[in-house]
Amino acid sequence: LEVLEMGVEAEERLRDCRETEGLTAWHDLRDSLRASALISYAEKHGCTRLVLGDTATMIAARVISDLAKNRNLHLGRYSMQQKGVEGSEGLTIVRPLFDTLADEVALFLRNRRLPPAHLPLPHWTGPFAGSQSLNSLSREFVHTLQAGKKSSVHTILRSIAKLADTP
């Protein structure tokens, strides 16, 4: 992606990064900035769809993390196709791997001799060294469940969908 021009918005984002307390808040800010950058880039280039590689495993971990942070249960923002993206006109986010486990994607990539499809996690130094965020703990929890029983990820997603539908 292109580097964002330094303006008022960029300066505010840098200030937010410096003032963020805790690794969980930093991860949330990073994810928010990444999503904003992707949406902005797609709109700038006239795209009507933004295709993301979110797997069922990733989505289950995010939903559990949101629950731990006491956020509203809203699986819609992680659904296979999300129309009417907040702050965007006419952009639809598509997640074609919504029903696919991360292990299945890894196996496919390995069989095709393709490089891994994930961003490397940074090595933390400074105030966050040695700590874990709710996001990383949720990810580890889901991967551990999935290692023991493959259907657990889909069970999480079905359960959250049912809970989200209840008033």
Q: Say if residue 64 is in the same domain as residue 92.
A: yes
pLDDT mean across residues, the chain: 76
1 has a pLDDT exceeding 50: no
User: Amino acid letter at 11?
Assistant: E
Whether this prediction's pTM lies above 0.85 is answered by no
Specify the higher pLDDT residue, 129 or 117. Answer: 117
Q: Which of the two residues, 64 and 83, has the higher pLDDT score? A: 64
73 and 140 together in one domain: yes
Range of the domain at 3: 1-47
**Same domain? 58 vs 10:** no
**SS3 (DSSP) at 152:** helix
Give me the number of domains the chain comprises: 2
Reported as a single tens digit per residue, the pLDDT across 119-137 is 555 555 555 555 678 888 8
Looking at the fold, whether 88 and 139 belong to one and the same domain comes out as yes
- Is 128 part of any domain? no
Which residue blocks in 20-149 are alpha helix, DSSP H? 23-44, 56-68, 102-111, 134-148
